[in-house]
Amino acid sequence: MEDAKRRPLIGISACRSAEGIHPFNRVSEKYILAILDPTCGIPIIIPAIQDMGSEIDHSDYIDGLLLTGSPSNVRPVEYSGTPSVEGTKHDIARDKTMIPLIRRCLQKKIPILGLCLGIQELNVACGGSLHQRIFDLEDKFDHRMRRDEDDHAKRYRPAHNIRITEGGLLNKITGEEEVNVNSLHAQGIDQLGDDLTIEAVAPDGIIEAVSFKNADQFALGVQWHAEWPRPIRSFNEKIFRHFGKECRSFAENKKLSLLDV
């Protein structure tokens, strides 16, 4: 295991939700475990509190940013979209915290890995837009998880294949050209954000992975849940290990980190 002093600090996006009368900031343990191994980083939970007037800039100390999946959807106001269908779940606090943070991380060249909702946040932060309900689109299949499955193994099982762009970042990291992935999302990328390039697509044409064009900036978003099942000896493990490598490189080149204070 890596020496703790050399392990990068990796921020993990939290979601705000209510339990009874109290609001909570939550992160599923599977994301924390993925940062501990195989990423080999120190997980730091970033609360969704920017809507409260917080002036904390988490990009001042993190060495990487993991954008987690979530039951919520990015609000259309963030990308000038049409109003959501009534009942659509949103997390205003997360939108107001993470989208500006993504932009600051891009400015500072802090490595970013986005999963499921995370790829959508990355796209919106770069000026792109989203399909709000892929399952309502003609010639697109339903990318949502199976509602009749309570078992995690079945819910997160591979749902469809993706075609990976030859010579792209994801292809170089994994060495793969086509793989099967899970699928648990209703939204998806519509208009591609500025400075992003397509890394993988589903058989129906939905964008499944993107990266930042600037070679000096590692920012990768994938539409599937690469963290589950735990990424051990797999295609997804290669993604997390490369993310960890990028975070360590950033930490080593940074003049000041939280561990030095």
Tell me the catalytic residues: 116, 225, 227
Q: Residue-wise over 136-162: b if at least 16 C-beta within 10 A, else e?
A: eeeebeebebeeeeeeeeebbeebbeb
- How far apart (Å, rounded) are the C-alpha atoms in residues 124 and 21? 31
Which residues lie closer than 8 Å to 88 by C-beta, 6 or more apart?
A: 73, 132
What are the Cα distances from residue 260, in Å, to 12, 61, 109, 254, 255?
21, 10, 20, 11, 9
